[in-house]
Amino acid sequence: MREPCFVGIDTSNYTTSLAFCTKGGETVANLKLPLAVKAGERGLRQSDAVFLHTKNLPTLFESARPFFEKYEPLAIGVSSTPRTQEGSYMPCFLAGVATAGALAASHGIPCYEFSHQNGHIMAALVSSGACEELIGRDFAAFHVSGGTTEVLLVHPNGNDFSCEIIGGTLDISAGQAIDRVGVSLGLSFPCGAALEKLALSYGGKPFAKKGSVKDGYCNLSGLENMALDMQKKGTSGEEIAAFVLTFIGRTLVALTESVRERYPGIPLVYSGGVMSCSILKRMLAGDGCYFAEPALSADNAVGIAHLTRLAY
């Protein structure tokens, strides 16, 4: 007899993801396929992302066959929007929504829709061990990724979250800055892991600077310009990488201090692909700070599976 489970699907702009969790809350599968980005490119058009997800999903479900043989889905969840805000929309999520709807209808089980951002937050709660402590109460969450750098005040909303934006970037995201500089250095997109490796190999002291932070918001576009200027002057890739990540880390520290001033004692959760960087974690670590484990910082469907479990 198969064990009951909950299935999550996420089709972000760069990763097709499928996850399973049990009724007891154990994550038993976290399957992912990246979307291919051509060398030298800094992203994908939405039409290309939808096409690539459509190609990836059958392959991903085939790799999940052993889990479907062992576990019986009670419900399926899917990320259908980027954020919880009204009007939030990206075509790439349609591929996941169509697949989840078909699976739910064929199995006669419920299908729940969540935002991609809430999936990231839930994955951080689950993998940091903070789920029991923070679920059902207000906390602050940083969502730092390729497309987003936002600070959120998170409120419980039944078995999901409602998120109020209280800070973030006023121009490009931290992930965009990392990828743009990384591509200019000859790294493959997305560049986060490779840029971190370069930075860790730098033996000197990085140039200390941070983005301007005012009223909980920052600017990061100047970082890209400074890094490209360093490259033109012949600065090594290792030093540029260390500068970029230190700049972002110092900016996130300033944003964190801003949150603590406005909301004394509030727990802080850090999520999103950029937060898999060990350099940033070391700069931000402290009491009341929770981080997703590296495998669950980047795009994944694990948070969606666990939100589905709660909704069910």
Spell out the CATH class of 168-294.
alpha beta
Tens of pLDDT, residue by residue over 102-114, are 999 999 999 999 9
Which residues touch 229 (CB under 8 Å, ≥6 apart)? none
Tens of pLDDT, residue by residue over 256-288, are 999 999 999 999 999 999 999 999 999 999 888
Pick the CATH number of 3-135+295-311 from 3.30.420.40, 1.10.3720.10, 3.40.50.300, 2.60.40.420: 3.30.420.40
Q: Higher pLDDT residue, 266 or 41?
A: 266
Residues of the chain with CATH 3.30.420.40: 3-135+295-311, 168-294
pTM: 0.92
Which pair of tokens denotes residue 285?
């670590």
Q: Amino acid identity of 194?
A: A
Least confident among 85-94, 145-154, 202-211:
202-211
Which residues touch 279 (CB under 8 Å, ≥6 apart)? 196, 199, 200, 245, 246, 249
State the DSSP code for 36: P
Beta pairing class for 217-218 and 213-214? antiparallel
Taking residues 226-251, what's their average pLDDT?
95
DSSP string, 54-102: HHHHHHHHHHTHHHHHHEEEEEEEEEEESSSSTT---TTHHHHHHHHHH
